[in-house]
Amino acid sequence: MKTLFAICLATTLGLSGVQSAQQEGNPEAAKIAREGSQAAKDQDWSKAIERFHKAAEMDRKYTQSLALAYQQRAFWINDYDKALADYDVATKLNPGEIKYHLYRGYIYELRGDLQNAMAETDSALKINSKNKEALERKQRLQKIQSATAPTPPPNAPPVTAPPKKNP
């Protein structure tokens, strides 16, 4: 519940920041971004994305708002494939944003795709090697991987290395 509140708060603050940024720059882009902000407030994420995308094409300062809209649409839909695609776009728009990698990793973990979950967690750690959430997720994923790793039968002979070839 805390996570949901934090995401909603961050979105509201981020989208309200759009309005203050709209006071300067391209007036047409500002108008379109305001439409995107209203659509986001109405949780019409597809319209918000479409409007922010158009505004960002006219003025790059709206790229962050576009990334936020993608992130929110991904968060609210239950279609993991679409959510992964949205987070992929958001990551490309804002590559240094660690939370997009963490969300993608979480979706992969929910799907049981531990390899991709670990890859996204490692990507997050490349951005910030001390991120607490990423470090905890990595430990959890490693425990899951070790618990599900196949173990040899108890009476199986040890595996020996192949003989070295003499030149």
> What pLDDT is attached to residue 158?
66
Whether pLDDT at 18 is above 70: no
Model pLDDT for residues 86-109, shown as the tens digit of each residue = 889 888 888 899 999 999 999 999
Question: What's the average model confidence in pLDDT over 114-127?
Answer: 96
Percent of the chain with pLDDT over 90: 35
Question: What's the average model confidence in pLDDT over 152-165?
Answer: 68
Tokens (6 digits) for 145: 């991987």
Helices (H), the chain: 2-21, 27-41, 45-58, 63-76, 80-93, 98-111, 114-127, 132-148
- The Cα 112–Cα 118 span in angstroms is 11
Domain limits, the chain: 1-79, 96-145
Query: For 10-14, 50-54, 58-62, 114-118, which range has the lowest pLDDT when averaged over its residues?
Result: 10-14
Whether pLDDT at 41 is above 70: yes
- The Cα 34–Cα 156 span in angstroms is 67
Question: Which of the pair, 161 or 82, is modelled with greater confidence?
Answer: 82
In angstroms, how far apart are the furthest CA atoms of the chain? 76
> What pLDDT is attached to residue 161?
66
120: left (phi over 0), alpha (psi -120 to 50) or beta: alpha
Whether pLDDT at 54 is above 50: yes
